[in-house]
């Protein structure tokens, strides 16, 4: 008869074997797809830019985010950039006649692009086209009968599902790393048109542009960004979903550029305080902070303060979910938006337009007048300032922000206050009158324009 110690060892072995049996085996997947993974090097005439720098983030980002996002690529934070001004990245073969996909930032401004195949051949590639907004580039090499990958459906990915990456971190070709899907539909700074797949797959400089595989051995994303304080892998990686990729690839191959759908609104998230001010039961949707004149949104009747909660049948939980949906919608397609206006749910048909170029504006300064209740100093806008800011009427310019509700709400010097709750601010006297009559202890919605962007803030006056 076995003693207690022997039984314990036997039981431990059985548990270990059972655990190992549940872990995925990636060997067959790697053998099948490894030949389609390529190393990409791009040479540049520009002088050495030194160590990769943090990606510039939009003003107003939460402090904890400002130090963490780094993009792999020359001068943008991560892809291997030796002193000879060559950027190294990864890619994969999309079709047997030589079309290759990678990231835009791997080949941006390259004088020459060289694709190194798994059989050690090195071929000069032609850049067919690239899209900075989604960080996708399409290359073409002169070769035939090449091994290819199969494209999968990123929409079917589930959080917790195993995924695998193959690439060239730090130039080490055909490196394989694995992990799980951590989240889907992530909105990142500078990625308005990409609902990123977040994973914990080890991704490092040089992995950029490489494929992310599901357990069926199909590519579901292109590895593009990491979340890091050090510039290296820290457990958070982001990939561009293949439905976004193939939409861009199709447009680039057909016409050499990418066109995107456009509503003509500037939006932001609904905070708990803003939800309270709008009479909503919970924070949800995309809050309309600006409606562009003569845009599809204006023609459809959307207004500042509307909260878009659904687009073409897709529920909008956060504002970051809306731009990718609209951007991938064909131009001139009839669509439908559902929104909340002053507590009432409404529906409007809308015809998607073509995304135009965006203008950059700046604000000037003038003589101040003080509002002690907000703790801000404001003044009227002159004609020159209105022309620069494209504000036809109303609004007051913030000159100084002292300690008080305004500072706590996030008001900054140079902001233009356009609207308080549902009342338009026509001039300084109007502003003072509205502020004087605001209720104490209740959140109110404040619409400001900061540089060229409208922003809603939630403000509460204690007394």
Please tell me the predicted confidence (pLDDT) of residue 58. Answer: 37
Least confident of 248-257, 265-274, 391-400: 391-400
Residues in Cβ contact with 261 at an 8 Å cutoff, skipping those fewer than 6 apart: 326, 327, 328, 329, 330, 331, 333, 352, 353, 354, 355
135 catalytically annotated: yes
pLDDT of residue 157: 95
Task: Give the pLDDT score at 9.
Answer: 62
Q: Is there a catalytic annotation at residue 95?
A: no
- pLDDT attached to residue 397: 84
Question: Which of 97-106, 325-334, 358-367, 369-378 bottoms out in mean pLDDT, i.e. has the lowest?
Answer: 358-367
Residue 72 has pLDDT above 50, yes or no: no
Residue 421 lies in a domain: yes
More confident position, 368 or 347 = 347
Question: What pLDDT is stored for residue 402 in this prediction?
Answer: 78
Threshold 0.75, pTM exceeds: no
Share of the chain above pLDDT 90, in %: 44
Q: How far apart are alpha carbons 352 and 260 in whole angstroms?
A: 9
Q: Does residue 155 sit in the same domain as residue 173? A: yes
In the predicted structure, residue 210 carries a pLDDT above the cut 80 = yes
Low-confidence winner among 28-32, 42-46, 54-58, 303-307 (lowest mean pLDDT): 54-58
Annotated catalytic, 105?
yes
Q: Which domain holds residue 101?
A: 23-258
Instruction: Assess whether pLDDT exceeds 60 at residue 52.
Output: no
Domain match, 254 and 265 both: no
Shared domain for 150 and 229, answered yes or no, is: yes
Using CA atoms, how far apart are residues 97 and 90, in angstroms rounded to an integer? 19
Q: Which residues of 295-308 are buried (b: 16+ CB within 10 A; e: fewer)?
A: bbbeebebebbbbb
Which residue bears the tokens 């990678």?
A: 102
How much is the pLDDT for 405? 80
pLDDT for 36 beyond 70: yes
User: What CATH number is associated with residue 146?
Assistant: 2.40.10.120
Q: 345 and 234: one domain?
A: no
92 occurs within a structural domain: yes
CATH number of the CATH domain containing 282: 2.30.42.10
pLDDT band at 26 (very low <50, low <70, confident <90, very high): very high
Of residues 79, 108, 135, 306, which has the active-site annotation?
135
Q: Are residues 286 and 216 in the same domain?
A: no
With contact defined as beta carbons under 8 Å apart, do 78 and 72 qualify?
yes
Binned at pLDDT 50, 70 and 90, residue 357 comes out as low
Q: What is the mean pLDDT of residues 288-305?
A: 90
Lowest mean pLDDT among 17-26, 322-331, 415-424: 17-26
Domain count of the fold of the chain: 3
Separation of first and last alpha carbons in the chain: 82
Q: What is the mean pLDDT of the chain?
A: 81
User: Would you call 68 exposed, middle or buried from its count of C-beta atoms within 10 A (0-12, 13-18, 19+)?
Assistant: middle
Q: Are residues 65 and 199 in the same domain?
A: yes
Mean pLDDT within 22-34:
90
- What the block records as the tokens of 380 is 């009227």
Q: Cβ–Cβ contacts within 10 Å for residue 388, how many?
A: 15
- pLDDT number for residue 13: 60
- Residue 76 falls inside a structural domain: yes
Whether residue 72 sits in one domain with residue 202: yes
Together in a domain, 131 and 235: yes
Last residue in a domain, options 229, 258, 287: 258
Catalytic annotation, pick one of 42, 44, 104, 105: 105
Catalytic choice (42, 90, 208, 335): 208
- Are 135 and 79 in contact, with CB atoms under 8 Å apart? no
Same-domain status, 49 and 112:
yes
Domain boundary among 305, 329, 354: 354
Q: Indicate the residue among 258, 289, 306 that finishes a domain.
A: 258
Q: In the predicted model, is pLDDT for residue 372 greater than 80?
A: no
Give mean pLDDT, residues 254-282: 87
pLDDT at 181: 96
The pLDDT tens digits of the residues spanning 217-245 come to: 999 999 998 887 766 778 899 999 999 99
């Amino acid at each position: 008869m076995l003693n207690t110690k022997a039984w314990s060892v036997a039981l431990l072995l059985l548990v270990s074997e059972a655990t190992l049996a549940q872990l995925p085996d990636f060997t067959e997947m790697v053998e099948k797809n490894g030949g389609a993974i390529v190393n990409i090097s791009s040479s540049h005439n520009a002088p050495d830019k030194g160590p990769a720098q943090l990606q510039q983030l939009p003003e107003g980002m939460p402090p904890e985010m400002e130090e963490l996002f780094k993009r792999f690529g020359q001068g943008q934070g991560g892809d291997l950039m030796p002193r000879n001004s060559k950027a190294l990245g990864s890619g994969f073969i999309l079709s047997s006649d030589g079309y290759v996909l990678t990231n835009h930032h791997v080949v941006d401004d390259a004088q020459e692009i060289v694709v190194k195949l798994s059989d050690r051949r090195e071929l000069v590639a032609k850049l067919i086209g690239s899209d900075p907004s989604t960080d996708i580039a399409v290359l073409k090499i002169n070769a035939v009968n090449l091994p290819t990958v199969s494209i999968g459906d990123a929409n079917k990915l589930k959080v917790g599902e195993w995924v695998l990456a193959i690439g060239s971190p730090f130039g080490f070709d055909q490196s394989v790393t694995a992990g799980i899907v951590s989240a889907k539909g992530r909105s990142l700074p500078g990625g308005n048109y990409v609902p990123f797949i977040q994973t914990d797959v080890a991704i490092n400089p040089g992995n950029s542009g490489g494929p992310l595989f599901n357990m069926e051995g199909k590519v579901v994303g292109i590895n593009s960004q990491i979340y890091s304080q050090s510039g290296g892998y820290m457990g958070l990686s982001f990939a561009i979903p293949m439905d976004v990729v193939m939409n861009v690839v199709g447009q680039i191959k057909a016409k050499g550029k990418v066109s995107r759908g456009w509503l003509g609104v500037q939006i932001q998230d609904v905070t708990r305080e803003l939800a309270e001010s709008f009479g909503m039961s919970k924070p949800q949707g995309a809050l309309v902070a600006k409606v562009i004149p003569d845009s599809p949104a204006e023609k459809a009747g959307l207004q500042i303060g509307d909260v878009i909660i659904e687009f073409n049948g897709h529920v909008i939980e956060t504002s970051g979910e809306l731009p990718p949906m609209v951007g991938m919608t064909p131009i001139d397609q009839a669509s439908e938006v559902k929104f909340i206006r002053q507590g009432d749910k409404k529906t409007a048909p809308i015809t998607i337009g073509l995304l135009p170029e965006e203008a950059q504006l700046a604000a000037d300064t003038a003589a101040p007048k003080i509002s002690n209740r907000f703790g801000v100093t404001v003044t009227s806008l002159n004609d020159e300032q209105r022309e620069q800011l494209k504000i036809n009427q109303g609004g007051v310019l913030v000159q100084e922000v002292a300690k008080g509700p305004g500072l706590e709400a996030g008001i900054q010097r140079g902001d233009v206050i356009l609207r308080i709750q549902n009342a338009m601010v026509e001039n300084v006297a109007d502003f003072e009158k509205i502020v004087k009559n605001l209720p104490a202890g209740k959140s109110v919605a404040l619409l400001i324009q900061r540089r060229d962007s409208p922003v809603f803030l939630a403000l509460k006056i204690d007394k």
